[in-house]
Homo-oligomer: A and B are copies of this chain.
Amino acid sequence: MMARPAAGVRSKTLIITLPGSPKGAKENLLAVLKLLPHACLQAAGGNSRTLHAGGVEKLEKEAGLDSAAKSQHHHHDHGHSHGHHGHTVPKAHTNPGDSLISNDPRAGPTQRYRESPYPMLSVEEAVKLVIDYTPAPTPVQVPVNGSLVGHVLAEDVQAKEAVPAYRASIVDGYALNLHDIVEEGGIKKDPRKFLVASVSHASPSEAPAVQSGEVARITTGAPLPPSAVAVVMVEDTTITKASPDGQEEQEIEILTNDIKPCENVREIGSDIKAGETILRKGEQITAVGGELGLLASIGKPHVSVYKKPIIGVLSTGDEIIKHNRPGPLRPGEVRDCNRPTILAAVESWGFETTDLGIAADTPGALEETLRAAMRRVDFVITTGGVSMGELDLLKPTVERALGGTIHFGRVAMKPGKPTTFATVPFKRTEGGARETRLIFSLPGNPASAVTTLHLFVLPSLQLTSGLPRAEVGLPKVLVILNEELKCDARRVEFHRARVSMGKDGRLHAVSTGGQRSSRVGSFRGSNCLVRLPARKEVVGRGDEVEGYMMGVIGGL
């Protein structure tokens, strides 16, 4: 009951926003007045699990309210002027959009909304709300190894060691003394024959100095002997005298006349200087390897990165069965393709997941499941139960049973209109720290679920993992449509397509066919959501539109 007029809680302050009209403001205020003491307790940091132990019903009774009874009582009043008593809400109306109706799932259809009470937001508005309510990232120290991939750095990283740490040969060959090389390049001696005096391997060792007139045999990566300044490649030499046993070279001739000081030598710190900042806070460790390679090459044992959230995935609905339940379907049964699909996608983004199973369509079951889930995971993704039907319990459960706030419940998009996003206050233990759990309740239709997963959930997961705001979300590209596509007159459409590079250097999009929201096949082979504007006209073949890359681009 508090959820609608309460705009939110900041620190310990409860913020209530009332309508602009005097009548509306009065009605709304009266409606929440009796619950204000309870709300203030909660805002002040009271344990919501204890406070809510008896459920909303108990709270409303304590406050002198009884939603089911009152709404029943008022049902017969519809059309009459609305009272100004503290107990006049929820009200039943057959004229939708006029005032508040109960979302108590126990109330009959006469008390339910006949039109969604949630304002229809644009995709941009909805994404902004998701971003605004995503918890700030938390740093954590982790060892430097492959499991770093996908993490974002929470610190600037300085090199404690130089790379290379010693002057190293970059070829197999012979190290030369400075006095045997002329400044302009070339070898002073003629004939250019040198005594092979020692060997320097690419392994820990202390080699003797190379004297003028001598060379030291050296392998790739080996430390230069003292007083050596350049290396001539083995390919540029011949052996002119072998040792008596024929195994070792005693003397070589250098065939080139073009050797300069420092040639074929990697100087200390020439790849990474000691003290240099090699990586910055906010950079992501990619699987390509550069960032991980940098951390490994300077011997950093641990690094501060942002914690990644754990994501639970739940399907809802009595009609939903496990996708692999043996035997034929009974009437009304639907196999659950959302859960395996979403789990796999979220894992491919590099997050740990928890399979929360299927929740039945009873308010108690859903509440139980969500409460248990919030103890195990940071984000809950649900599918189904967000339409207008009497069994669409997600929104009422979040608002009434969990004390959560629904930030949006409708988005002007196709597919994905009933997409719902909520935050729920949570304490792990009595008196524990106030935490927030995010609940993304995606539509049950598979194409809607996958589309909204990519558009709304991904940026939130990335942001809470430390990726800078400007970098979250699917990469936006401009693509050329290879066929004419029909638009929806009222809603922006995210048309599933396959995008690949064309010979003209442009990205080209081909539709994956039938786009009905129930048709998961529209994601077959799809790597891009092409954004079609809301308008009556088609988008023509050859026209440029925006796309959002979900997968790997098709090559030329």
Please give the residue numbers on chain A whose beta carbons come within 8 Å of chain B beta carbons, in ascending order: 72, 75-76, 94-96, 107-111, 114-115, 143-146, 148-149, 161, 163-166, 170-172, 201-206, 217, 219-223, 234-235, 237-240, 242-243, 245-249, 266, 270-272, 278-279, 283, 286-294, 296-301, 317-319, 323-326, 328-338, 340-345, 347-349, 361, 384, 387-392, 444, 446, 450, 473-480, 496, 500-501, 503, 505-507, 512, 516, 518-527, 544, 546, 549-556
Contact = CB atoms under 8 A, between A and B. Distances in A.
17 contacts: A164-B334, A165-B331, A202-B332, A220-B389, A221-B317, A221-B334, A270-B516, A287-B349, A288-B345, A289-B345, A293-B340, A294-B520, A297-B335, A473-B555, A475-B500, A475-B501, A549-B552
Contacts of A94: 238-240
Given A331-B206, A344-B149, A288 B551 contact: yes
Contacts of A143: 324
A380 to B, nearest CB: 18
Contacts of A171: 387-388
B161 A331 contact: no
Label chain A's interface by main secondary structure: loop
Nearest to A471: B555
A206 B161 CA distance: 74
Nearest to A339: B296
B444 A220 contact: yes
A109 B291 CA distance: 39
Contacts of A476: 501, 555-556
B389 A519 contact: no
Contacts of A109: 217, 239, 247-249
Given A109-B239, A247-B108, A477 B553 contact: yes
A207 B237 CA distance: 93
Contact of A521 (B271, B342, B478, B507): B271
Contact of A288 (B318, B505, B527): B527
A552 to B, nearest CB: 6
B146 A343 contact: yes
A115 B333 contact: no
A204 B330 contact: yes
A231 to B, nearest CB: 12
A341 B285 CA distance: 11
Contacts of A384: 221
A201 B222 CA distance: 76
B75 A246 contact: yes
Given A220-B389, A266-B516, A296-B336, 15 more contacts: A75-B242, A96-B238, A110-B247, A114-B234, A202-B391, A204-B333, A219-B387, A222-B332, A288-B450, A289-B523, A291-B525, A298-B335, A299-B329, A300-B324, A506-B506
